[in-house]
Amino acid sequence: MLTVSFLRDLNPAQQDAVRAVNGPVMIIAGAGSGKTRVLTYRIAHLISCGVPPSSILALTFTNKAAQEMKQRIGVLAGDTARDLWMGTFHSMFARILRRESTHLGYTPSYSIYDSDDSLGAVKRSMERLRIATQQYHPTAIRSRISFCKNQMITPSAAQERSKDIFDEQAARVYSEYIRLLKSSNAMDFDDLLVKPIELFEAHPEILGKYQHRFTFLLVDEFQDTNRAQYKVMQLLGEKYRNICVVGDDAQSIYSFRGADVRNILDFTKDYPNCQSFKLEQNYRSTKSIIGVADALIQNNTNRLQKQVLFRKISAHFDGQLSGRVIALWGLAFKPNTDDMREAPSRTLMEALWAAGASVRAYDPVAMEETGRLYPKQAGLVLCTSGDETLEGADALAICTEWQEFRSPDFDTLKARLKTPVIFDGRNLYDPEYLRGLGLTYYAIGRGERLPV
């Protein structure tokens, strides 16, 4: 089980979401609420509870996100994390199809067509059907085929739903396109979602094998899943129903790619006994930004109820830091405004000053761009580059008002700091990850009194 010190890295709502192990779970994670941290800790928690990593299937939307999460989980849970099945929907189900493709009439060495290959197959299909590419653009027909696949609409169903001549011709090409790919021992990108559904529905024994293997399923960015992704997830999770989805209906922006926000809106209807958790504490934005965004979201007619909360950070240091030099990584100014009352970096700087530290603050991007700096106070030295700021500093305090900023190179920090101590004012990093690198790490912002 996770230790108390491990759980202290999470706020109460995050802890509850991590501890809920069995049964369906939906985590509504507002922007900047620590979604990635909760997913990471939840998987580490499952492993610490005795769940074999190879029994966990975690589905993300980018390979980069999966790789970063897997590295963090490795720090938390050890080398066993390498046995996790973690990656994008397409990459994970491509692995399954390589093993089971013969059941669908493909060889294990089947080709996966990229967008150019797929477009070429559409053009050849149109040529076979004597449909002029000058009259019906192949790209438009390819988009229609992709939409139908992601919505699990067959060629015959597409033909029946036709409303005009374009729909009819697209349905004809769709049917021929499928035949062409099959005869070429090839699948396109959409098939990596559709073919597993065909496989599992046609071969219950294969479905049962993977249901038994993957006893826990986790899906990131659930609001951006399409119907095919939701269907294959339901099939795999039907036996044990240990399905955890994480997302935010207010951040659904990929409907043009086939994403269906109904997946997240209707999850509790499909799983009436699911546990729901809301991560409403925003650690990323200022109060004014949160207020404006929340006011706009309130106008959405179909949405899940939640409130995005602003948390002004507070930092208190026990004892004195007299004579110690603390480098501040983050924006020492706020562009286009003189109102610094809510700026987290100012709160952190003031706490350091109060403890007697000499603070060096700089903007790692370009401080000269706006010229609007914090009012100069005793002990504050404004620098424009990382080298002079880090040289001779005892510790580093990380605090930025903005989501996009240049993240420190922690290996460099260890070499440059007198003592490798990190104070994280926005809770941007996984504590166990940094501690694993040999850094003394304090996540602040929740009112704790920090040791000197």
What is the assigned CATH class of domain 316-450? Answer: alpha beta
Round the average pLDDT of the chain to a whole number and report it: 80
DSSP 8-class letter at 82: G
The answer on pLDDT for 16 being more than 80 is yes
Q: Alpha-carbon distance 301 to 370, whole Å?
A: 40
Give 261's contacts (C-beta < 8 A, 6+ positions apart): 223, 249, 252, 255, 302
Cα three-residue angle 150-305-301, rounded to 5 degrees: 65
Look at residue 428 and give its three-state secondary structure: coil
Q: Tell me which H or E stretch contains 6.
A: helix 4-7
- Cα–Cα nearest to 251, from 286, 282, 276: 282
Q: What is the pLDDT of residues 368-382, one digit of tens each?
A: 333 334 433 333 444
Helix (DSSP H) and strand (DSSP E) numbers for the chain: 19, 18
Look at residue 276 and give its three-state secondary structure: strand
- Looking up tokens 């286009």, which residue turns up? 336
- Cα–Cα nearest to 318, from 121, 451, 164: 451
Task: Tell me the domain boundaries of the chain.
Answer: 4-94+194-297, 112-184, 316-450
Q: What is the pLDDT of residues 108-167, one digit of tens each?
A: 999 999 999 999 999 999 999 999 999 999 999 999 999 999 999 999 999 999 999 999
**What local confidence, expressed as pLDDT, does residue 335 receive?**
44
Question: Where residue 290 falls among pLDDT bands split at 50, 70, 90?
Answer: low
**What local confidence, expressed as pLDDT, does residue 147 receive?**
93
The answer on pLDDT for 434 being more than 70 is yes
| Same-fold call for 4-94+194-297 versus 316-450 | yes
**What local confidence, expressed as pLDDT, does residue 74 receive?**
84
State the amino acid at position 4 in one-letter form: V
**What local confidence, expressed as pLDDT, does residue 390 receive?**
64
Q: Which residue has the higher pLDDT, 442 or 50?
A: 50
First to last CA, the chain: 30
Beta strands in 370-446 (DSSP E): 380-383, 395-398, 421-424, 440-443
Q: What is the pLDDT of residues 261-288, one digit of tens each?
A: 888 888 989 999 999 998 877 766 656 6
The answer on pLDDT for 15 being more than 70 is yes
**What local confidence, expressed as pLDDT, does residue 18 receive?**
93
**What local confidence, expressed as pLDDT, does residue 287 receive?**
61
**What local confidence, expressed as pLDDT, does residue 315 receive?**
62
Structure tokens belonging to residue 420: 């490798």
Question: Where residue 435 falls among pLDDT bands split at 50, 70, 90?
Answer: confident
Structure tokens belonging to residue 20: 């809920």
The answer on pLDDT for 328 being more than 80 is no
**What local confidence, expressed as pLDDT, does residue 303 receive?**
54
Give, in order, the Cα–Cα distances in Å from 128 to each of 68, 173, 180: 46, 9, 10
Q: With respect to CATH, is domain 112-184 assigned 1.10.10.160? A: yes
**What local confidence, expressed as pLDDT, does residue 71 receive?**
84
Structure tokens belonging to residue 363: 């903007």
Cα three-residue angle 324-326-75, rounded to 5 degrees: 115
CA dihedral 97, 118, 181, 124 (to 10 degrees): 180
Cα three-residue angle 125-128-132, rounded to 5 degrees: 80
Q: Alpha-carbon distance 303 to 404, whole Å?
A: 27
Q: Which residue has the higher pLDDT, 68 or 244?
A: 244
The answer on pLDDT for 226 being more than 70 is yes
Q: Alpha-carbon distance 301 to 123, whole Å?
A: 41
**What local confidence, expressed as pLDDT, does residue 66 receive?**
87
Give, in order, the Cα–Cα distances in Å from 316 to each of 47, 255, 350, 421, 423: 35, 45, 10, 16, 12
Q: Which of 14-23, 272-281, 345-354 has the lowest mean pLDDT?
A: 345-354
Domain spanning 4-94+194-297: CATH superfamily: P-loop containing nucleotide triphosphate hydrolases (3.40.50.300)
Structure tokens belonging to residue 60: 């993300």
404 half-sphere exposure, CB direction, 13 A CA radius: 1
The answer on pLDDT for 305 being more than 90 is no
Q: What is the pLDDT of residues 384-401, one digit of tens each?
A: 444 455 666 787 777 655
